[in-house]
Amino acid sequence: MPELPEVETVVRDLRPLLVGRRIASIAVGPHALRRPWSKNWARMLRGRQVTAVARRGKWIVVHLDDGQHLVVHLGMTGQLTVAPSQLPMNNHTHWIVVLDQGYDQLRFRDIRRFGSVTRFRDTMALSKFFESAQLGPEPFEVEKPYWQKTLRRTERCLKAVLLDQRVVAGVGNIYADESLFQARLHPTLIACRLANAEQERLRKAIGVVLQRAIERRGSSIRDYIGGSGLKGKYQEEFRVYGRTGRPCLRCRSPIERIRLAGRSTHFCPQCQFPVPSSKSRVRS
């Protein structure tokens, strides 16, 4: 599933291709996506101009000139791109926006159809939607007091905490593993038992990893492509994710994998080994 770096890359690609352009028409395929699309929405959106393209967590938000908003979630296999109208349509394209005079189209393709496109009538409706999702702060906006307080009051393991979108928005399986490796913390460690220095190391590691992934346009493992159709390259820099049995790039110990918080979890047993002298360390 695309995580924050992939969604941010799509947003940055789409912004110069969409801002200032008008919706001429919208066509929707016969197969439903994860959230229903109302037939009336195409009429309500016709003629509206895009004023901004933004991101909240793993959601893409397209702002329109009359206060309406389009919110897109890529699901597991979603691709949101702008393409010339004469370019043949790929299979599994479920939502098409004709732009301006019809020379270009915004296309949403989703093989598994776990993604969605939803229209919100105004900013209040959009705010209520995100409030109901209980999204935590953006990773680059996590302040030290909030981070310390949040970790100290949960007995969950670090991997589960990082996957919880209510704690921090946008981090998924890939970047949770990579951030824990960057911070030299074992994924099974109990959050409330971390020392202050360990908490801060993890907070900073999340930002470092995500920023580098954004610079590399995210990770293209299966279906992900950016808004311009280009793939990401951060998968070439993975330190632990998907490297089970391969040597750690720091210490050459074989990378291990366990099942944690319902997800495959990758780590180096040496670099992320629980240190006996710290009360925070708990073996898996």
**How do residues 194-213 score in pLDDT, each as one tens digit?**
999 999 999 999 999 999 99
**Strand partners for 106:** 82, 97
Query: pLDDT tens digits for 104-119?
Result: 999 999 999 999 999 9
- Among 246, 171, 253, 257, CA closest to 207: 171
- Closest CA relative to residue 216, chosen from 227, 205, 230, 228: 230
On the question of pLDDT at 279 being above 60, the answer is no
Please state the φ and ψ torsions of residue 150, each to the nearest 5 degrees.
-65, -45
State pTM to two decimals: 0.92
The token pair that represents 229 in the structure block: 């159709």
Rounded mean pLDDT of the chain?
A: 94
pLDDT at 253: 97
Q: What is the mean pLDDT of residues 76-87?
A: 95
**What is the rounded CA–CA span in Å between residue 216 and residue 40?**
39
Best CA proximity match to 14, nearest among 127, 92, 105, 93: 105
CA separation for the pair 192, 184 (Å, rounded): 17
Q: Which of 125, 143, 138 is nearest to 54 (CA)?
A: 138
Which domains, ranges and CATH numbers included, belong to the chain?
Answer: 4-133 (3.20.190.10), 139-267 (1.10.8.50)
Sign for the CA dihedral angle at 20, 71, 137, 215 comes to negative
pLDDT at 220: 86
Catalytic residue annotation: 2-3, 58, 263
Return d(Cα 46, Cα 28) in angstroms, integer: 14
DSSP letters for 90-123? PTTEEEEEEETTTTEEEEEEESS---EEEEESSH
CB of 55 closer than 8 Å to CB of 79? no
